[in-house]
Amino acid sequence: MCKGLAALPQSCLERAKEIKSKLGVLLQKPDNAIDLIIPYPEKTEKKPEKLHKPTPEEATQWRESLDLLLNNSYGLASFRSFLQSEFSDENIEFWVACEDFKKTKNPVKMAAKAKKIYEDFIQSEGPREVNIDHFTKDVTLRGLVDLSPSTFDLAQKRIHALMDKDSFGRYLRSDFYQELLV
């Protein structure tokens, strides 16, 4: 098992290449293939859900935990807007994509969503790469070989913990949240 890039860089790279080669169809496509476009939930073409502004009492309850905030559609939208204003919304977008992935039943759609999540958020130098350690990346990559709703659980838990420890506190001090308390 790779413990860090400094300790065993060559064997880590070899292990990652080995795992990636086993993914076959999931991470590769034939030259004549058409990319499946699977939008994340916030970008679907459905009529947007009407968000109801919470009462100050409801918003006050969000201070208790990040989960209370994330389980409220207005709270999630507000937190997302706050992170976008800081140019750091990749964590919440990853978390939302993982939640959507868990609800996917169709194996073909599940594979396409897993590929998109991996390429966007997990893969080194992906366009919206989240900050997770090498061990978590390795576990997630191995999970892509045999997909299940829990494939991204470890990475999602790490990102949730990061948001809880870092951005959630900043959000609670922000104007985005403070305006809801009056």
pLDDT band at 14 (very low <50, low <70, confident <90, very high): low
Neighbours of 35 (CB within 10 A): 9
Q: Are 123 and 129 in contact (CB under 8 A)?
A: yes
pLDDT tens digits along 113-122: 999 999 999 9
pLDDT tens digits along 171-180: 999 999 999 9
Cα–Cα dist 69/137, whole Å: 27
> What b/e sequence results for 82-118 when a residue is b if at least 16 CB atoms lie within 10 Å of its CB, and e otherwise?
bbeeeeebbbbbbbbbbebbbebeeeeebbbbbbbbb
- Predicted pLDDT at 4: 43
In the predicted model, what is the mean pLDDT of the chain? 83
Among the residue ranges 9-23, 46-60, 74-88, the one predicted with the least confidence is: 9-23
**Annotated domain spans of the chain:** 57-181
Helix (H), strand (E) counts: the chain: 10, 0
Is the backbone of residue 3 left (phi > 0), alpha (psi -120 to 50) or beta? alpha
Query: CATH number of the domain at 57-181, out of 2.60.40.1930, 1.10.3720.10, 3.20.20.150, 1.10.167.10?
Result: 1.10.167.10
- Predicted pLDDT at 18: 55
pLDDT at 29 over 50: no
